[in-house]
Structure 1
């Protein structure tokens, strides 16, 4: 297991540092290692060769010490370096580095505005663990910096961001790049922090695996879902001797006269998963339309209400490997949810399937088979009005424990939690997926993938979200964020998989656009 994919809390990071310090690692040695690793990462950026003048914001703690080491190294490499030190150091080690900077003759400015002529600014005001709001002159200084046009690089986390929740503590620096030190902090996957992070990377400081395991002594842990996990879940290669029913049979219950397209998009998402057999239950009047778009599917025309919604399900629900229910149903369907919940089959509930549930998701705990819920933030708020969805880690896991279901909370950083504590975060996505129909595609993709996979449901949910996000990124790269319509997204799902087949499992990695690797 790659420790660089672990996502930790402030308390866990403090415990990890305390453990290595107690084992004999000098604080000064760790600071030097962190700052030199950071310096090398900055020097590797394409923008750095053109940098002649560097401004460095120096805070009172060890984050300020890191910044001073970076300042020293840039000065020794011939760059002109200016320091802004709004608060005298509170840590002796930081004071030592400031004394040496004075010895080297690094000049100071009285205000952030004094750095206006610098080519690059390094933010070392406050690192992880900040709890008090930034106010007064410091808040004004941050506001001034945010109005400036220079490239800003933050050390560990932008100053003013809560390391766990990602909330802005009074004021926060908007960085262009943020280098997380050691292990990923939760704020990097909280949506409220994303506008401040810029492009991100985590720098490995070589913490011993044993020390990390001791701190994370209550597995399972929170992790980023990456290409390695995706490969493990994907049901490839298939056996040479197989048939369609061995590759899964998914049932989609979706669509209405009002939302006819939802049934088609959900079906296309399932088709892209490679599922062996696909049945789609729709109102009878929609059957010809769906058959025309998905001729390989078994389309069941269901009795419908006067408003054009499904009135009843003329199906034996126990025949299927996975059921997905909800896209485009409307709330005017007949009493179908009870029979769906009672079916002894894994179930994906999305959209109106979630809206038909009572507050708190009553009835899910008693289901005879696993369930995956795929809410966006608004749907989560309706189901759990007492939860604060701004902390995606707490909200997603709390909802999973309360319902006994796997919860996939959609968003810029999709979070997936199982009731037993298994937790994945999709590390990247694109705002191009913020379009009607994208969620329908994900529901179909998830249902089809789950029907053909033997992996745990929480891993399959993460794999579907990961694949969906990667396809969105690829489509945005070739057609811009405005061009990621659901049909292009479906077509790109296959292209992503085609690349995987072409380059082989060892080298496969979904494309990363607009980030720093």
Structure 2
């Protein structure tokens, strides 16, 4: 059997995947950072719109629950004050917005300074304009240090599907967190039933770790499968939580595939913990947040 960090290699079939279990994760322990909050990394979440600032809140708090040391949130100017009150643990900055309330692709200098200093940049939660997101991604990728990790979610994945060259030549750590619709956009066709194969294809095409509906793949062909997820995770905001957990784990020093595996497990098992109280489909994405740290901590 391969070691956890090796995973299983192949064309993505279920038989060739390593199952993500507590035992596998115990053999692939997350980095432990000693010292102050700076040692556990800074996560910058860029997203939201006038109508969806809550997605940034979910992703940001998830990053802290996963162990990130510092959190910065960048949202539309009209949402920044309310979000800074809702998340007092974070530095919150406002961004220019379009007349429709989308984050503008005209990236301000104060955001570029934050990007240059961040350890992880998560882009996408709550964004609602592909053209504006393309411009933002191009600017932030150009400004970020080569070692800065990126997590791309939601409309950032839509932007990537329209401009796949955004990651060309990038050797930085990247995690993609598509849902089935976003996977179809990235793939250029309906994903079909073999999601393991789709994850492998996307990981190779975009040179990124991919977590797709419980299937995780690395660019080098390693594959894993998370089997704890249930229907309740298919709820509004759940994907924002997953992206935030991945960002927080990257900030702690996890490699992209490791962050994707641990995040997929923490996301799924947190839903399991809520099911006895709320049923399989009655819990909310915000309720996952309070289970994340406990789930990660009890892997042991």
Q: TM-score normalized by structure 2?
A: 0.87
What is the CA deviation profile of residues 382-421 of structure 1, one whole-angstrom value per residue up to 9, with x for unaligned ones? 1212464411222111111112122211x2xx11111111
2:289 to 473, 477, 490: 490
Is 1:451 aligned to 2:247, yes or no?
A: no
In structure 2, stretches of 5+ residues that fail to align are: none
Q: 1:482 to 1:392 in 2, by over 3 A?
A: closer
Is 1:294 aligned to 2:87, yes or no?
A: yes
After TM superposition, the structure 1 = structure 2 runs for residues 470-509 of structure 1, keeping only pairs within 5 Å, are 470-497=269-296, 499=298, 505=300
Cα distance in 1 for residues equivalent to 2:119 and 2:58: 20
What is the CA deviation profile of residues 279-306 of structure 1, one whole-angstrom value per residue up to 9, with x for unaligned ones? 1111111111211121011111112222
Aligned-partner SS, 1:492:
helix
Q: How many pairs are equivalent? A: 288
Partner of residue 234, structure 1: 30
Contact (CA 8 Å) 2:46, 2:124: kept in 1 or not? yes
Greater helix share, structure number: 2
Cα distance in 1 for residues equivalent to 2:189 and 2:241: 29
Cα distance in 2 for residues equivalent to 1:426 and 1:497: 15
Is 1:225 aligned to 2:20, yes or no?
A: yes
1:339 to 139, 143, 153: 139
Cα distance in 2 for residues equivalent to 1:383 and 1:6: 24
Cα distance in 2 for residues equivalent to 1:394 and 1:497: 27
Partner of residue 126, structure 2: 328
Partner of residue 465, structure 1: 264
Is 1:350 aligned to 2:153, yes or no?
A: yes
Contact (CA 8 Å) 1:415, 1:424: kept in 2 or not? yes
After TM superposition, the structure 1 = structure 2 runs for residues 238-387 of structure 1, keeping only pairs within 5 Å, are 238-239=33-34, 242-311=35-104, 312-313=107-108, 314-315=110-111, 316=113, 317-331=115-129, 333=132, 335-342=135-142, 343=144, 344=146, 345-359=148-162, 361-386=164-189
Cα distance in 2 for residues equivalent to 1:284 and 1:251: 16
Deviation at 1:469, TM superposition (A): 0.6
Aligned-partner SS, 1:356:
helix
Cα distance in 1 for residues equivalent to 2:137 and 2:279: 39
Q: Which has the higher contact order (CA 8 A, sep 6+)?
A: 2
What is the CA deviation profile of residues 443-478 of structure 1, one whole-angstrom value per residue up to 9, with x for unaligned ones? 11110111112x321111110111111101111123
Aligned-partner SS, 1:251:
strand
Is 1:420 aligned to 2:226, yes or no?
A: no
Cα distance in 2 for residues equivalent to 1:498 and 1:246: 18
Aligned-partner SS, 1:363:
helix
Q: 1:382 to 1:246 in 2, by over 3 A?
A: same
Q: CA RMSD in A?
A: 2.6
